[in-house]
Structure formats: structure tokens, C-alpha cells
Amino acid sequence: MRITIAGSGVAGLATAVSLHAAGFRDVTVFEAEPGLRPHGLGLNILPNAVRELDELGLLDAVRQRAIRTRELAMYNPRGTLVWREDRGLAAGYRWPQLSVSRARLVTALAEETRRRLGDGALVTDARLVGLDRTPGRTRAVFANRDGATRTVETDLLIGADGIRSAVRAALYPGEGPPPTNGMTLYRGTVWGPPFLTGESMAVLGDDRRRLVLYPIDRDETAHRTLINWVAAFPDERSEARSATDAAERRKVILRQLGDWAPPGVDLAALIERTPDIQRYPMIDRDPLPRWTFGSVTLLGDAAHAMYPAGSNGATQAVIDARVLAWHLARHRDAGTALRAYEEERRPQMTELQRSNRSLGPERVLTMAHRRAPGGFGDVRDVFSEEELAEISRGYAVTGKFDQDWVNTRPSLSAGGAR
């Protein structure tokens, strides 16, 4: 079976490696960007996806330059603790939670794709620009920067081309651009002294603003960590227009969050020292009624882009890849396999997309602010322990990354029992 993948992000490359592990050899990934120079700052991979990287033999490559996140701690803007929980190995998972640079993760996946499937399996400067679906045959048209096109006839086309997916647009021509909730994300990375445990993710928030900080690398000799930070708030129109360079962006962020007090972090100094600050609207996608049309399906952000709360973007892309490969290896007929993949994944991802629209587990910060807008001395005056634990546990169950399930579920390796 000839399999064509559009997009070489985490989703497309994890799919290529998973398909190889499941016995498929005629697999090609087409990437729109001219060279493979992966971008991106930090992201998190939850233990359910780390388990899959481990079963693919990729754990060592990814772990080398990642931080094993051991706690999540949430605070109000003054730095009063709202909720803290162990994460990864510390929480009893058999696999760690990893905080890692996206560029590093994509590079590890690309190297493994080439090692397993050959250099020709990863084609860059090839943007999917057209799709022709006639029963029993799919043709995908790719264009390079100069406009030269190449048509590929394929048995299966997987759209792993991200939140602005061309495959999705071909399947849903009226959909339009991704919707935004009016929030703007500012992001950067900067070296600084370790904070909290040195392997903590800290999230601060009120009812409309957020600040997330976590390390993605460390330099033992200099006793410092590479801190990935994300600030999110509704941008004032005039601010948004003027914030075109790093100096302006620093001012905008400090106007919004300058008096916030993440424990152990000098926020103003951190923002001032960050060399490059990126700015994006917070966007996602509406859940779809269907991902699969004949021999074309969607995967990763192309299928279910969600707001960045709860560390699920890259995590769920890896799980999609493994589930799809598992079903394709199990079912003789590709159509049956695609249906089984979608039946397993789409309802879960729809629920997670909806949960992330209320910012997933971070909604406790909104609730804390609404219940005690002037702040509080002890979170137990605002919440019961059970209420907080239930919000966290409920989100993990929705995303199928609760500890019992991750540690004990059957393997998704095609040779494994299920």
C-alpha cells in the first residue's frame, strides 16, 4: 500500500515512524517548508505519548535534551498556591512527562524517519495544493517554491499539515480560517536560574490572563535552565498593532503582568532578558463531524487543533499516529482501518477540544479568581481539596492519560496483544 503524508510536524513524522514499525514500507512525507529547519519553542509530552516514543525506540533520543517534568503548580497572580500535583514518574507513571523544544523533537523524529524509510521518504519544498478524489484513487498535487507541481497517486493520504491544513480545507472548503478567542500568546525562551524543583511547570492566572513557565533544557555546569514561558491575555487593539518588535512586546507584557509573582522567578528580569519574543493569536479549530473521506484522513492539529492548555497538542498527535498505524496493520481493508481509527480517536478529541476551550485544568485559576477576586491566604478557604482533585482527574480521564490507563493498557505496537 502506498501511503502519502502531508506535513512533517510531530504528527506527520510520528505517523511515518509508526507506520514503519507496523510493517509499512511505501510511506512518503511531503513538507511545504523548503528545508527541514524545525521551529518552535517548548512543548510537553505527557506520559501516554512518551510511552509510544519508548515503544518506537525513540525515548533516549528525545530524553537526552529534555526535562523530566515532576510537578505542576498553579498559582494566583500574587503567587499564592491554588493547586499542585506530581507529574510523570513522580506521580507513579511508568513513563516521564517530558518538556522539550519542538525543534528537537521534530529533528529526532525526522532522523528516525530517514533512518527507517530512507532519505527519499521525506520530501521538502512540497506543499500540498490540490486533491483529486475519485472512487478507489486519490491524487495529491504538491508544488515547490517556484510553482512547479508534481502529482502523486496514492492509496492513502494522511493530512498532518497542521492547524491551517490544506487537506482539511479540501475536505471542508467552506470552513475558513481558525477561530480565535481574542487572546494573544507571547512566547519566548531564556536561560535563567532554576525555579521551584528545577523540573516544575508553574501556571499563574486570574479570570482572563495566564502565565506559564517551565524549563526545557539545563546546563549543569552553569547551574541554569532554559526557561520556556508563555503569556496570554486579551490584547488591547492599539497595543496589538504596535507590538511589532521585542522591545514593544516586552512593554505590553509587563504592562499586563508586571506585578505578577511566580515563585522563585524575577518575572520582569526574565522578560527583559528574553532575546526574541513571538506573538500569535490563540486559535483552535471547531470539532469536525468526520475526519475520513474515502482514502483520505486527518491527523494531529489538522484534525483537532486545540488551545494550548493541558499539554495535549503534540501528545495527542503521537497517539493518533500510533492508533492509525495499529488499525492499518490489523485490518486488511484500509477503509475499515480508517473508520476504526476515527471511531476511536474523534469522540475523545472532540471532548478534549471542548474542555480546552475552558482552558482544561487551568480553569481552577479562573474559578479561584472569581471566588476570591481580592486574593486569599489559604486555598482551602476557596476550594475543597476534593473539588480541585476532581477537576485534575476529570481532565486526565477525558484525555485518556490517567495513570491507571497509561500504565496498564495494552500496547499499540502492531505486534503487541490488544
Ligand X SMILES: Cc1cc2nc3c(=O)[nH]c(=O)nc-3n(C[C@H](O)[C@H](O)[C@H](O)COP(=O)(O)OP(=O)(O)OC[C@H]3O[C@@H](n4cnc5c(N)ncnc54)[C@H](O)[C@@H]3O)c2cc1C
**Contact call for residue 3 and ligand X (CB under 6 A):** no
Three-state DSSP state, 74 = strand
Q: Which is nearer to ligand X, 11 or 211 (CB)?
A: 11
Residue 41 in contact with ligand X, rule: CB under 6 A: yes
| By the rule CB under 6 A, 6 interacts with ligand X | yes
With beta carbons less than 8 A apart as the criterion, state whether 339 and 48 touch: no
Q: Decide whether 76 or 189 has the Cβ nearer to ligand X.
A: 189
Site for ligand X in 372-411 (CB under 6 A): none
Name the one range near ligand X by CB under 6 A: 29-37, 92-100, 332-340, 387-395. 29-37
Compare residues 37 and 241 and give the one whose CB is closer to ligand X: 37
End-to-end CA distance of the chain: 24
CA angle 328, 287, 309 (to 5 degrees): 100
Taking a C-beta distance cutoff of 8 angstroms, is the pair 416, 21 a contact?
no
Please give the Cα distance from 363 to 356 (Å, whole number). 9
Q: Give yes or no for a contact between 41 and 101, defined as CB atoms under 8 angstroms apart.
A: yes
Q: Does 128 bind ligand X (CB under 6 A)?
A: yes
Question: Within a 13 Å sphere around the CA of 38, how many CA atoms are in the beta-carbon half?
Answer: 19
8 vs 256 by CB, closer to ligand X: 8
CB count within 10 Å of CB 341 equals 22
Q: According to CB under 6 A, which one of 3, 4, 9, 283 is a site residue for ligand X? A: 9
Q: Between residues 6 and 226, which has the closer beta carbon with respect to ligand X?
A: 6
Residue closer to ligand X (CB basis): 31 or 199: 31
Binding flag, residue 11, ligand X (CB under 6 A): yes
Strands 296-298, 278-283: pairing kind: unpaired
User: Which member of 3, 16, 32, 298 binds ligand X (CB under 6 A)?
Assistant: 32
Identify which of residues 338 and 388 has a Cβ nearer to ligand X in the complex.
338
Interaction between residue 40 and ligand X (CB under 6 A):
yes
Contact flag: residue 8 with ligand X (CB under 6 A): yes
10/152 with CB nearer ligand X: 10
Interface segment toward ligand X; rule CB under 6 A; list 58-66, 110-118, 298-306, 401-409: 298-306
Q: Does 15 bind ligand X (CB under 6 A)?
A: no
Q: Is 197 helix (H, G, I), strand (E, B) or coil?
A: coil
- Contact present, 207 and 37 (Cβ < 8 Å): no
Minimum CB separation of residue 11 from ligand X in Å reads: 3
CB of 119 to ligand X, least distance (A): 18
> Length of the chain in residues, anyone?
418
- CB count within 10 Å of CB 371 equals 11
Among 20, 127, 209, 218, binds ligand X (CB under 6 A): 127
166/253 with CB nearer ligand X: 166
246 vs 239: CA distance, rounded Å: 13
Sole window of 50-58, 258-266, 267-275, 310-318 interacting with ligand X (rule: CB under 6 A): 310-318
**How does 50-65 read in b/e, with b if 16+ C-beta sit within 10 Å?**
bbbbbbbebbebbbeb
By CB under 6 A, residue 159 contacts ligand X: no
DSSP element (H, E) containing 366: helix 363-371
Q: Where are the beta strands (DSSP E) in 116-254?
A: 122-123, 127-134, 137-143, 149-154, 156-159, 180-192, 200-205, 210-219, 224-234
Answer for which of 10, 109, 185, 202 binds ligand X (CB under 6 A) is 10
How far apart (Å, rounded) are the C-alpha atoms in residues 380 and 376? 9
Q: Is 30 or 75 the residue whose CB approaches ligand X more closely?
A: 30
Q: Closer CB to ligand X, residue 205 or residue 300?
A: 300
Contact pattern for ligand X over residues 164 through 193, marking x by CB under 6 A: --x---------------------------
Looking at 77, 88, 215, 313, which residue binds ligand X (CB under 6 A)? 313
Contact 15, 321 (CB under 8 A): yes
77 binds ligand X per the rule CB under 6 A: no
* Number of neighbouring beta carbons within 10 Å of residue 98: 27
Distance CA 174, CA 191 (A): 44
**Footprint of ligand X on this chain (CB under 6 A)?**
6-12, 30-33, 39-43, 102, 127-128, 160-163, 166, 300-302, 308, 313-314, 317
